[in-house]
Structure 1
């Protein structure tokens, strides 16, 4: 209802169809032909009350469903004005013939006919004004516009029924004026005060509001009974109370439950799509280790053969990281200890790169004992990766301080680093995981179970992440 306009042409078509069908059926049932022999005048009135609504309905169909959409598509003004005028003349003559023949009106001038046209034209003008005034871009979405258009349809149908009273529309007008709004109010009352409270487990509150609703209904009919000096409205009120409690409330609850199920399924699908998108973005941001793995083994053997211990150590740690990414990165959950080992390998590899740089301080504090539990892979490394990416300068004083604590049922990571975003940043162009992607994965995988605090000033950057496993 927010994203786009409702299909009002179809809604208008079905509302008018139901109204005219009800008018025709009421006039058929009101004829009384099966009980006595009708006179010629009664036969004329009977057919007039059947055919005049049918003629008006066919005219509405031709104009609303054929002519107006055709004009909007082709923009041929004179063609569709001519067709509209033809429909008006034919419907006017046929309606006038039935009306004057049955003495519904004294001559061809039929107030109900011109009033019906006036109501329809007035609605079209109002609909155009509402579309220009309330639809986007003037408003952010279509919610208010759709609500006002639906109210306008209801009001104009009621106006039509009130001025079409010669054709026994009083019962339908009564339904539109009182019963439909009453049902709508009861349904809204049920949703906000009864259904929601029951859904939240507040049975006492739900029962209280249900009892209050029943009392108000009985009170309304008691007031009516006092005003009309009759006890009959009280029986009607009791019947309404039973219908509300036994039929309307349970039926609306079924609708609400189906709607909740639909929203739940939709949210699950959106979550799956979002998670899939996040995982795809995550995987695209990683180095594919397949084409490097064999080469690393070769380089490791060569380094050992040449007694290059520092080089072989770096290749071994990089190989361990590649194995992690190849075998465990695509799993939903991995042992926390494996994530910790990956972090240690990454920091050790960085230490090899900056070894001998006196202006750089790297501190990595972590539990000596093994971490227990499981965690989604690659949630911690992005913060450490960004710390080395933006926190290390080979010319200026730099520091990266990492603290990893594994507690019972939770893990806590603190990263503090200096900020250097200069051209000599050796990892400036690396393809690390974006923090937005990590936050999105945390929202999907640990909703309400994590705390992420990021602070930054001119000199340093601080991250605190806690996850309840």
Structure 2
């Protein structure tokens, strides 16, 4: 059976779902452990029963009610997030999934209310009308579950459709392409925080905590995004540093808190929740969000700029390298053709066949292997030997010319950039051989482990004024120097010495 890999987007969604499942399961297990610990070693809610002279059972008045409450929340979150909402977002079986969501919500309200009649039984006797007391418990349970499950549904829907909604916001298109994903992730983290606090802290008794969670996180998230994508880049353009950025943010934070105060002044009658939320928001904006945004910008966007510059320079170097390679190939080809021409004239075409064979091997090498980034050192050595043999054909009838070559056969797996060594040998034959004067060339090549040692020395003679090569400096050695600098930076040592009678080159190359 052949198994085909699925859509990458589906795989990513599956991984996110698994992560959400294990996070929610871990939180559920931690909550159960907390309930068990409070039951075994703590006083739980016993003090309220004792104050009202009511009999108290750790099992029925704390452990079981809390376990039922936290379990129904956990199960409902899994059903809404992984079953009902994904189907609703895809518009599959809309009526069925809406009905199931309503049923789960109703069952949760019922379980939560019954559990509260046991865990908060002391409140029933505080009210003269038992029916009114039950109505209060039911109202609190309904309000809490309704708001919490509304948050569950918002989170589940945003998980499914959040990126699509952000894609429709045209003003985000002018920013970095990653901003949508970053906003999506930030909103999900905020929603998760709200859900966790809503589960841990009941809104009927911890109103301040809920208000703080509703106000502080989104304000800080928006503030960080504005700083990273607008404030800091504009300040950097005009050469301003952290000082200007920090004091500017202090002023902006004060204006934000003043605006929030004007908008939320009507809610301040319900207690200190709003003022506390505004104070914490201003502190977090200045002490947390401001330096955090600066840090993110410095270590993310400036690094990206640096990487882009390096890529640009690398592209230039690569283009330069390709140009150098294109210069080298025709240079060697014409040298080889000149050599064959000279041999044909001297030998009356008797040994031209051997030269043509050598040239064919060289041309095959240049056409098929010279375009690769790396080739085996064995093939490079074969090319060197072909070139040397081809030159020997030209100089074999001159007794005053000595060509001494000691190039080891390479049986290793070392790799080298093609056409890297030949310019040194070509330069030696070009400038060190004279058919009218005594001259010599000595060449050695050996490897030890992954290090290559290459030496070339040749005689120097004064060229005649009518020699066309006298005024030509050649491009071979300059090209190979540039290639070594680009491709073997810090991995080579090139020594070139020239005296009145000799030109010497020593190259040490790390190939491993």
TM score, norm. by length of structure 1: 0.42
TM-score, with length taken from structure 2: 0.39
Q: Greater RCO between the two (CA within 8 Å, min separation 6)?
A: 1
